């Protein structure tokens, strides 16, 4: 008799069980990945007739193909041409009952499609009869995202519409949504859109309809609707008369400020500057400033913090007079409170807003009160935040413009040098981009000290992006100096950048050399020296300098004297042993041919292109592909002529007489025999 052995289950911890389950799930997922079918790529047809058939039978296509055509509908219409526009209404109807993603894609394509439609003779009729009814269908859509996207795209199309059609298509639907008491989202969307649409309508519609509807939403029972309505008040104020602002907008706004809800108060603080910008001086001093002072002393910390954030923006909207001295002193006292640790510790955003609106505050109070906020400016410069420093760097020239040359020289020169040498790239860029605007506030005889700053930038080989920005800004900088300063100081800097170790710097610098020639148009020693320096690049033993010459020609070939001064050497560089030099030269030749064409005097360019047939560079072959027909025709003609003249041809195309004659002609006209 065999004894049965009972096998007891193995006891496992919870962690062991989880590990086993994870391994099982991992194996199953790997199986799913292995068995997943490979999706084929969808390509749009290039045959106009086939594309038209596909659009007409859109619902018979697979989902991925429908999505592809929806995302590129404007391109497909342009390819098909008139036949597509004649079937516009029928084609658009194919999308009405399609999936969410396809509907969203087609809605986003409509502004591009309308751009094409408006160029047609019957464009407005097609827009009114087909596109607008199609969009109206989606304005009634149940999906909120679809409805919001339609309104967004409709606002892009609206400038093409006459006012009556804008009223019927946009305003009527917005009013209907604003009165939808059952759907809060519709009322929120209406409130958001009223402000954006105000500028599209005449003052009659803005004051009679949009203003009234928005103020009605501002007393809605739903706090989110009220918040959105208050946020739109600055946008609608742009299109209203000052009388309407004083009688309707300001009283409603002041009443909203007394709302107990925090989000409504915050919305009022964010909107008060926009309203103040368009309100009269008396309204500002008697109603808006007292209300803002209430926000600054509010019991709620979040209200006080937001009020401090937007204080600079609010002050910048007010033009203070001698009668407003008391209010100005109070506002400036609060503005300077940001030096207090208890205030600036509220967050970087507060200090950033202070820095961002600093030029506006200075503009409002005037240069005579500069010393009242000078200490605050020093605090902002030392504040340990990249965001704050970048803002100060990009607005530095605005502060200098308000202060004028004397105060700027006294207070801002050291600041300029500090910011220009900052370790952060964006800070240095902010100074360099607007350097010409800063220089221009000084008399021309006091501007030369900036040259030392430019020289210091070129010495640091690690800051190549700074050098690239200088090359981009060099043209406006040169306009700030006389010709002698440009020749002895700016030109050497620019030519040095043309030999920079970084290709992007060389390219930017080389393409700006044209401005030097434009500066020295009159014949003389300086012009001769500039031209000789440019030509010296083309004969350099360093390939990157020869390439810089090609990049110089990229801008120079538009000049009338290009062929006489620079073209001969450019043609020679097309045979350079270094591939990147040949390519850069051919790119310029390509642009030159597109501009001048193959005229009788330039027939030699056809033979010139043939010499590149066997070049191994792919980019060069892509350029030549545009001229395949010309090359083949010229090649046959050349071989035929040689066959008649010599009775045989070895297939080589060197020493083409017409090409050599042109080279000699250029050489003689430039004085080189």
Q: What is the mean pLDDT of residues 441-462?
A: 73
In eight-state DSSP terms, residue 8 is P
Give CA–CA dist 427/463, Å, rounded: 12
Query: Could you tell me the two tokens for 41?
Result: 């790529």
Give CA–CA dist 642/651, Å, rounded: 10
pLDDT-based confidence at 520, cuts 50/70/90?
confident
pLDDT-based confidence at 310, cuts 50/70/90?
very high
Give CA–CA dist 500/630, Å, rounded: 38
Query: Could you tell me the two tokens for 98?
Result: 């399609």
Q: Which of 364, 363, 366, 396 is nearest to 380 (CA)?
A: 396
Q: What percent of the chain has pLDDT over 90?
A: 25
Identify the pLDDT of residue 25: 55
**Helix axis angle, 100-117 relative to 144-157, nearest 10°?**
10
Q: Is 69 exposed, middle or buried (0-12, 13-18, 19+ CB in 10 A)?
A: buried
pLDDT at residue 36 above 50? Answer: no
Q: What is the mean pLDDT of residues 205-215?
A: 92
SS3 state at 498: coil
Do you know the residue count of the chain?
A: 673
Largest Cα span, the chain: 124
Identify the pLDDT of residue 605: 77
For 599-618, what is the HEC assignment? CHHHCHHHHHHHCCCCCCCH
Using alpha carbons, list the distances in angstroms from residue 637 to 123, 124, 230. Answer: 47, 51, 76
Query: Could you tell me the two tokens for 271?
Result: 């909107």
Q: What is the mean pLDDT of residues 441-467?
A: 75
pLDDT-based confidence at 649, cuts 50/70/90?
very low
Query: Could you tell me the two tokens for 469?
Result: 């920005």
Q: Which of 410, 304, 312 is nearest to 355 (CA)?
A: 312
pLDDT at residue 657 above 60? Answer: no
- All residues at 6 or more sequence positions from 659 whose CB lies less than 8 Å from its CB, including other chains: 604, 607, 608
> Highest mean pLDDT range out of 7-16, 228-237, 489-498?
228-237
Query: Could you tell me the two tokens for 411?
Result: 């207070």
Using alpha carbons, list the distances in angstroms from residue 654 to 437, 606, 614, 651. Answer: 54, 13, 13, 9
Q: What is the mean pLDDT of residues 341-370?
A: 83
For 550-612, what is the HEC assignment? HHHHHHHCCCCCHHHHHHHHHHHHCCCCCHHHHHHHHHHHHHHHHHHCCCHHHCHHHHHHHCC
Query: Could you tell me the two tokens for 280?
Result: 């009269």
pLDDT at residue 459 above 70? Answer: no
Residue 500 backbone class (left: φ over 0; alpha: ψ -120 to 50; beta: rest): beta
The model's pLDDT over 358-367, given as tens digits with 9 standing for 90+, comes to 999 999 988 9
Lowest mean pLDDT across 71-85, 331-345, 392-406: 331-345
Question: Could you report how far apart the first and last alpha carbons of the chain are, in Å?
Answer: 122
Query: Could you tell me the two tokens for 47?
Result: 């045959």
pLDDT-based confidence at 196, cuts 50/70/90?
confident
Q: Is 233 exposed, middle or buried (0-12, 13-18, 19+ CB in 10 A)?
A: buried
Give CA–CA dist 402/412, Å, rounded: 12
SS3 state at 539: coil
Are the CB atoms for 165 and 123 separated by under 8 Å? no
Give CA–CA dist 437/547, Å, rounded: 32
Identify the pLDDT of residue 651: 35
pLDDT at residue 445 above 70? Answer: yes
For the chain, the average pLDDT equals: 83
Using alpha carbons, list the distances in angstroms from residue 239 to 160, 171, 319, 586. Answer: 19, 15, 21, 54
pLDDT-based confidence at 654, cuts 50/70/90?
very low
Alpha helices in 318-463 (DSSP H): 325-336, 341-344, 348-356, 358-365, 370-382, 386-411, 413-420, 425-433, 435-439, 449-459
> Around Cβ 416, how many Cβ atoms within 10 Å?
20
Q: What is the mean pLDDT of residues 153-179?
A: 90
pLDDT at residue 515 above 80? Answer: yes
Query: Could you tell me the two tokens for 381?
Result: 């410069």
């Amino acid at each position: 008799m065999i004894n049965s052995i009972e096998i007891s289950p193995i006891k496992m911890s919870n962690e062991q069980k989880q590990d086993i389950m994870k391994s099982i799930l991992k194996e199953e997922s790997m199986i799913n990945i292995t068995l997943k079918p490979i999706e084929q790529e969808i390509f749009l047809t290039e045959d106009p007739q086939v594309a038209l058939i596909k659009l007409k039978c859109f619902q018979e296509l697979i989902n991925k193909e429908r999505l592809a055509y929806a995302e590129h509908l404007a391109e497909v219409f342009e390819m098909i041409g008139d036949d597509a526009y004649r079937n516009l209404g029928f084609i658009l109807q194919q999308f009405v009952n399609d999936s969410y993603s396809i509907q969203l894609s087609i809605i986003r394509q409509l502004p591009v499609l309308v751009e094409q439609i408006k160029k047609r003779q019957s464009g407005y009729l097609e827009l009114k009869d087909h596109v607008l009814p199609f969009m109206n269908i989606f304005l009634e859509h149940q999906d909120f995202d679809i409805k919001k996207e339609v309104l967004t795209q409709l606002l892009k199309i609206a400038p093409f519409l006459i006012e009556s059609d804008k009223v019927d298509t946009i305003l009527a639907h917005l009013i209907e949504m604003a009165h939808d008491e059952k759907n809060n989202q519709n009322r929120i969307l209406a409130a958001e859109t009223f402000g954006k649409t105000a500028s599209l309508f005449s003052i009659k519609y803005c004051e009679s309809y949009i203003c009234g509807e928005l103020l009605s939403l501002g007393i809605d029972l739903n706090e989110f609707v009220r918040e959105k309505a208050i946020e739109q008040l600055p946008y609608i104020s742009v299109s209203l008369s000052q009388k309407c602002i004083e009688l309707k907008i300001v009283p409603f706004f002041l009443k909203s400020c007394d709302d107990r809800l925090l989000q409504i108060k915050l919305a009022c603080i964010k909107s008060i500057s926009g309203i103040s910008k368009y309100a009269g001086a008396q309204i500002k001093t008697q109603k808006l400033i007292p209300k803002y002072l209430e926000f600054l002393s509010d019991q709620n910390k979040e209200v006080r913090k937001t009020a401090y954030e937007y204080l600079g923006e609010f002050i910048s909207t007010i033009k203070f007079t001698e009668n407003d001295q008391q209010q100005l002193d109070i506002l400036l006292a609060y503005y300077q409170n940001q030096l207090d640790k208890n205030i600036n510790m509220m967050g970087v955003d507060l200090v950033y807003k202070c820095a961002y609106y600093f030029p506006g505050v200075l503009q409002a109070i005037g240069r005579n009160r500069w010393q009242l906020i000078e200490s605050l400016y020093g605090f902002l410069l030392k504040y340990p935040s990249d965001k704050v420093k970048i803002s100060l760097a990009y607005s530095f020239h605005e502060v200098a413009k308000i202060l004028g040359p004397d105060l700027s020289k006294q207070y801002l020169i050291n600041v300029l040098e500090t910011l220009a040498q900052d370790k952060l790239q964006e800070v240095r860029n902010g100074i360099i981009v607007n350097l010409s605007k800063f220089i221009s506030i000084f008399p021309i005889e006091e501007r030369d000290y900036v040259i030392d700053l430019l020289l210091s930038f070129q010495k640091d080989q690690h800051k190549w992006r700074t050098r690239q920005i200088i090359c981009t800004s060099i043209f406006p900088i040169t306009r700030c100096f006389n010709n002698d300063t440009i020749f002895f100081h700016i030109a050497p800097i620019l030519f040095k950048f043309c030999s920079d170790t970084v290709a992007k710097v060389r390219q930017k610098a080389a393409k700006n050399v044209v401005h030097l020639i434009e500066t020295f148009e009159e014949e003389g020693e300086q012009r001769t020296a500039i031209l000789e320096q440019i030509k010296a690049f083309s004969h350099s033993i360093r390939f990157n300098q020869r390439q810089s010459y090609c990049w110089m020609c990229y801008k120079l070939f538009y000049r009338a004297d290009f062929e006489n001064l620079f073209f001969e050497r450019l043609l020679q560089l097309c045979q350079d042993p270094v591939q990147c030099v040949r390519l850069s030269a051919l790119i310029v030749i390509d642009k030159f041919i597109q501009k001048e064409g193959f005229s009788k005097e330039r027939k030699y360019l056809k033979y010139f292109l043939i010499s590149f047939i066997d070049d191994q560079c792919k980019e060069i072959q892509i350029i030549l592909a545009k001229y395949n027909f010309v090359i083949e025709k010229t090649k046959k003609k050349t071989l035929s002529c040689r066959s008649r003249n010599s009775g045989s041809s070895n297939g080589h195309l060197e020493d083409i007489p017409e090409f050599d004659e042109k080279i000699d002609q250029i050489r003689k006209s430039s004085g080189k025999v």
